[in-house]
């Protein structure tokens, strides 16, 4: 499960609810990054999308997906969803950064 504003991913034991592992933050929670939806699990990878909360607009934020190892929570990779002039400088506040609400 994603932890919202903490921008981490948790693996919980389905029987007793105890935390098996928790990832490092995948986004900067001080810049309104959040992990909104549940991860998508594919083979040994847990993918989580990042979005911005409804707080103040931060032009530096871009949507991204981060992949973690499903068995131990190790970060494998992270990919920014958008790049280029459409979301840079003065365009950032009017066009946003294509946030990703789920894996």
- Where does residue 95 rank: exposed (0-12), middle (13-18), buried (19+ CB within 10 A)? middle
Q: Give 33's strand partners.
A: 52
Q: Express as a percent the part of the chain with pLDDT over 70.
A: 66
In this prediction the pTM is 0.76
What secondary structure, in 3-state letters, does 32-87 show? CEEECCCCEEECCEEEEEEEECCCCCCCCCCCEEEEEECCCCCEEEEEECCCCHHH
Instruction: Provide the mean pLDDT of the chain.
Output: 78
CATH class of 10-95: mainly beta
Model pLDDT for residues 11-48, shown as the tens digit of each residue:
999 999 999 999 988 877 677 777 777 889 999 999 98
Please tell me the predicted confidence (pLDDT) of residue 19: 94
**Per-domain residue ranges of the chain:** 10-95
Model pLDDT for residues 45-73, shown as the tens digit of each residue:
999 887 766 555 565 566 788 899 999 99
């Amino acid at each position: 499960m994603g932890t919202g504003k903490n921008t981490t991913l948790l693996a919980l034991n389905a029987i007793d609810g105890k935390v098996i592992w928790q990832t490092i933050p995948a986004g900067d929670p001080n810049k309104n990054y959040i992990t909104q939806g549940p991860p998508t699990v594919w083979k040994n990878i847990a993918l989580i999308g990042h979005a911005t909360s409804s707080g103040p607009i931060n032009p530096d934020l871009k949507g991204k997906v981060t992949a973690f190892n499903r068995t131990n929570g190790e970060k494998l990779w992270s990919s920014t969803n958008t790049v280029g002039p459409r979301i840079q400088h003065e365009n950032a506040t009017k066009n946003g950064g294509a946030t990703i609400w789920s894996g």
